[in-house]
Chains A and B, each alone.
Chain A
Amino acid sequence: MLSPTILIPAILNGLLTGAVYALVALGLTLIYGVLHIINFAHGALLSAALFAAFFAYRLLGLDPYLAVFLLAPLFFALGYALQRFIIGPASRGDDRNMLLVTLGIAVVIENALLYAFRADTRTINVPYAFETINFGFTFLAVPRVVGFVAVFLVALALWLIMTFTDMGRAIRAVAKEKVGAELVGIDVAHVYAMTFGLGSACVAVAACLLIPTYYVNPGVGNAFVLVAFTIVVLGGMGSVPGALVGALLIGVVESISGLFLGESLGQIGIFVIFIFVLLVRPSGLFGARP
């Protein structure tokens, strides 16, 4: 089982999977870095975005790679509104309350999807879903390669926003020193909401990249988000490069342990790493001590 012909494609596929994990994790780590809470609604938003992408295809005939330009702004607005009008006012800045409120929202969204669309699994069929690209020594699925490239583009876009725009600077200021930022006149509630919006937009992009090769049901988001939590903690809460590196690492680990242990136990590998990191080095690879 350790022969290169099996191992190398497993690693490469792990990297491709990791890239999409990265996109989900990026949004989560961004939100943590600024608001200092784990957004428990992240998974539910991913499920909702997957359904949105699904219906965009079925009802509007929009190819997922085009739907992204509709759904990203839509989910940005949704995330903004959630933070500005529900999470912020409801939790009044208390960390524990924020955890509970995001949990409550997660439960509502997920079960609303369950209630409206039942638990049946749906998929879409795009013509390029099964096409592959020949990389010489192995074939890789087109949608997954596109996903890999797209993730780095999104990460680049985020970096550009953070570094060169006023909003990006404001976000970084609030992340570093909230009270100081308030004192210089930054509208912290607005910044929080913008951050949440950006995180939700990342999730929408991830959904559009996933849907050609993945299935849709109300529980999918949860499965992804637990992995995203692991990545965020591994890479260091709030660290964008950490999320990227952590995601690729986790993707590869999952792929390889799946080889040896089978699908479901492969998932355990991730959680065991998760618990181990939390107990031994909660600051992760790149993060600051909690």
Chain B
Amino acid sequence: MKGFAPIAAVFGVLAAVPLVVHSNVTLNFLVVALMIALAGQGWNILGGYGGQYSFGHAAFFGTGAYVTAILQVRYGINAWLAFGAGIASGAALGGIIGSLTFRSGLRGSYFALVTLAFAEVLRIVASVAPITGAGVGTLIHLDLRAQAFQFQSRALFYWVILTLVGVSLVVARLIERSRFGAWLIAVRENEDAAKALGVDARSVKTAAMVISGAITAAAGCFYAQYFLFVDSGIAYGTWMSIEALLTPIIGGVGTVFGPLLGALVVKSLGEGAKLVTGDVPGLDLIVYGAVLVLVIWFTPRGLIGGFAQVGKRLTRRAVPATTSIREAGHG
């Protein structure tokens, strides 16, 4: 199980944090960062490993959030069950959107557009439909009991989201080492070549979208339980679609830890920007947009990819420069 040792190590270190850090502000920052990391890991499964760049992942986040909230508020369902239902609906939505779009063979710009459109449609519907509370939104009643999935202590919320993130890390690692993962990555690299090797590209991509939808929906479910309020802008707004894709790209697409690293970096940059110039709306997103452009420009494989490249360059210098052309070209 050596492939999982780094995950266990990171999990252990992060789990110890609330034992040392007691500031609510810091814990809150970390909780939000972990939530974004979870949403980003969802995107990463489809976009990083599968190469299908969705610009509308808010669709899954919002669905998870609304399902969790509505089941509790309108149907009195237990909060933990509602949470599970939220994740399941994210998966189902992933299956629906995936089978529709991949059947039509949509890729690239078209895929980005159609995912954007789905998120927008959901946002508009949520902003007027009575079941979501329309413009007013849905409020979950404060009920600080464990059965209601609400906790007095922020540390407990922290451990919940950390566990969810940990699970998503394990899922990513399992995918990396499985046949499904090898096929998914092959589809990303060259779909036609993959098909010629027996890969059912459409099913593989749809399955990736189901997993992706479930993970990002889980982040939405958590949002609902932590902030106790959901409206159409929060649930399906473009801010989440952007953050869900930003964190894996900055951290490293197609890697296990990319979204986590990216989320911590992005959120730190956002906080840093606010410290410098005060809490003016829009500033953190300006920073995010600029960082996105810079990362694509200079380290398209993200921070983890950047470290790997530096590592390679350092070890390459150890090889003597006298390797003959014939040797170098062998094979």
Contacts and interface: CB of A to CB of B under 8 A. Distances in A.
Q: Do A's and B's CB atoms come within 8 Å in the complex?
A: yes
Q: Say whether chain B's binding surface is mostly helix, strand, loop, or mixed.
A: helix
Nearest 10 pairs of A and B residues by beta carbon: A107-B289, A114-B282, A104-B292, A108-B289, A90-B297, A111-B282, A115-B282, A104-B293, A111-B285, A38-B109
Contacts, number: 130
Q: Say whether chain A's binding surface is mostly helix, strand, loop, or mixed.
A: helix
A6 interface: no
Interface residues of A, number: 49
13 contacts: A38-B109, A38-B113, A40-B55, A94-B300, A95-B109, A97-B296, A103-B55, A107-B292, A110-B285, A111-B282, A278-B117, A279-B103, A290-B106
Interface residues of B, number: 42
Nearest to A115: B282
Contacts of A99: 53, 55, 108-109, 112
Interface of B: 51, 53, 55, 100-101, 103-104, 106, 108-110, 112-114, 116-118, 120-121, 124-125, 127-128, 238, 242, 245, 249, 280-283, 285-286, 288-293, 296-297, 300
A12 interface: no
Given A114-B285, A279-B104, 13 more contacts: A90-B296, A96-B53, A99-B109, A100-B245, A101-B297, A104-B296, A115-B283, A118-B281, A226-B117, A229-B117, A230-B117, A265-B124, A279-B101
Given A264-B124, A271-B124, A278 B113 contact: yes
A271 B113 CA distance: 11
A80 interface: no
B8 to A, nearest CB: 33
B293 A112 contact: no
Given A107-B289, A264-B128, A100 B117 contact: no
Interface of A: 32, 36-38, 40, 86, 89-91, 94-97, 99-101, 103-108, 110-115, 118-119, 218, 222, 226, 229-230, 233, 264-265, 267-268, 271-272, 274-275, 278-280, 282, 290
A233 B113 contact: yes
A275 B281 CA distance: 32
A268 B124 contact: yes
Contacts of B124: 264-265, 267-268, 271
B242 A103 contact: yes
Contact of A271 (B120, B286, B291): B120
A86 B289 CA distance: 13
Nearest to A32: B109
B285 A100 contact: no
A86 B281 CA distance: 25
Q: Name which of B121, B245, B288 has the most chain A CB atoms within 10 A of its CB.
A: B121
B65 to A, nearest CB: 20
Contact of A105 (B103, B109, B293, B300): B293
Contacts of B296: 90-91, 97, 100-101, 104
